[in-house]
Amino acid sequence: MGAFQGADLFLYPSFEETEGIVVLEALASRQHVLVRNIPVYQNWLEEGVNVYKADNVDEFDEKMQSILNAQVSDVRDAGHALAVARDLPKIGAQLQKVYEKTLKA
CATH of the domain at 26: 3.40.50.2000
Question: pLDDT value at position 82?
Answer: 94
Distance from C-alpha of 105 to C-alpha of 88, rounded to nearest angstrom: 26
Which residue segment(s) compose the domain that 53 sits in? 2-104
Integer Cα distance of 90 and 95 in angstroms: 9
Number of structural domains, the chain?
1
pLDDT (tens digit per residue) in 25-73:
999 999 999 999 999 999 999 999 999 999 999 999 999 999 999 999 9
Contact assessment for residue 9 and residue 34, using Cβ atoms and an 8 Å cutoff: yes
Evaluate if pTM is beyond 0.75.
yes
